[in-house]
Structure 1
Amino acid sequence: MKISLGYLYLLLLWAFGSAATPIGTGSQAAVLENRTSANFTAIGDKLYYIEETLRVNWFRASNICRQLGGFLVNLASKEELQALSRQLHPARSYWLSLYDLAEPGVYASQANGRDAQFLSWSAGQPDNIGGVEHCIELWLSGSTFQMNDAQCEMPFHFVCESD
């Protein structure tokens, strides 16, 4: 049985969960030490935490969200994207919960394991440049935030969601 490297990462993320790594070490710890579930803000009918200081890879962002009691944001609609976008910095990119690590071209949510219920791709995306873009970021494309596939190891800001 052949297992892709991306799928192996996902299995490790699931297996070790938030206990795998502490919320931060070194300079990351200083940035994150005051982050708690109290830092979540209501936008529409959901609670979000928008990380504007720290840039981390998709796996680390997922772990941080879980340690804060949430998960990487799982956008459900165009209306939710628009409401959240008003709170995002236009010069920054943000990790979402979506990935296609298990099956290329099939986007699922790390938050619930289900296929993506909402996608809003930037023009020409997803393009999986070099066959290594398997995690989804939200970036400003033109005048609106839209989705782009990117290498999971890239450092971006992130958005957590909580129930």
Structure 2
Amino acid sequence: MTQERMNALAMLSMEKRLVTEMTDFNQRVIEKFAGQEPIITSAKMASGFLFALLLCLSIGLSAASCYGQTSYPGSCPPGWTQFGSRCFSFNIQGKSWIDAENFCNSDGGNLASVHSEEEHEFLRTFINQVTGANQTSWIGAFDSVQEGVWMWSDGSIFDYKSWAWGQPDNKGGAENCLQMNYKGKNWNDGQCNKMSPFLCSMKL
């Protein structure tokens, strides 16, 4: 099994866990898919992007295709900022990690992954330019499948990290999603249902 496929399946496992833990999220899923009973046999295993992912994987598409990653040759769409070969957008409205990921999916991307110090510093500067502060924000990593094994929601390799001192600590056994700009600078593992601004990214 490829790393990309493993990461995609890990996202499915994460969603099942979040649905179990968050009653309100589960209720919204049930309401959203109430009219699709012939297609979805269990509301508990359904969310918008993960149901689509399951269908994609069943016919052999890549995780990037399943997650809706869209390429924009040459330039980023309006409201997005280019760095390297990707486009980024910052969203100030607070959302839970899973709702933020769904929002990014709807725009053709994912919560942002970070792969170098240069990318990290660009994103910190980008957030500061938008908000005037080093705002704590969701990015796309999670470790809910196996504690301490971090994965990016876009299926890319977790090959860079910038943890704050003493992090990740999985405080209370319930911190499985990654925040950047923790205490204004580095990374922290946070509770996935916490409301926070977030960064999306997509391929150029």
With normalisation by structure 2, the TM-score equals: 0.61
Question: Gaps (5+ residues) in structure 1?
Answer: 19-36
One-letter code of the match for 2:94?
R
**2:189 alignment partner, SS class:** strand
- Equivalent residues of 1:134, 1:150 under 8 A apart: yes
1:127 to 169, 186, 190: 169
Residue equivalent to 1:99: 142
SS in 2 for 1:106: coil
Give yes or no for the alignment of 1:152 onto 2:188. Answer: no
Structure 1 length-normalised TM: 0.75
Q: Tell me which residue corresponds to 2:30.
A: none
Aligned residues: 137
Report % sequence identity. 27
In terms of fraction of residues, the more strand-rich structure is 1
In the TM superposition, 1:1-163 aligns within 5 A as 6=14, 8-9=16-17, 12-13=46-47, 15-17=50-52, 37-52=77-92, 54-89=93-128, 90-112=133-155, 115-141=157-183, 145-163=185-203
Shift of 1:141: 3.6
Alpha-carbon contact 1:100-1:106 (below 8 Å) kept: yes
Structure number having the greater helix percentage = 2
Gaps of 5+ in 2: 1-12, 19-44, 54-76
**Alpha-carbon separation, structure 1, partners of 2:194 and 2:200:** 17
Q: Kindly report the root-mean-square deviation, in angstroms, between the aligned alpha carbons of the 2 structures.
A: 2.2
Distance in structure 1 (CA, Å) of the matches to 2:46 and 2:158: 21
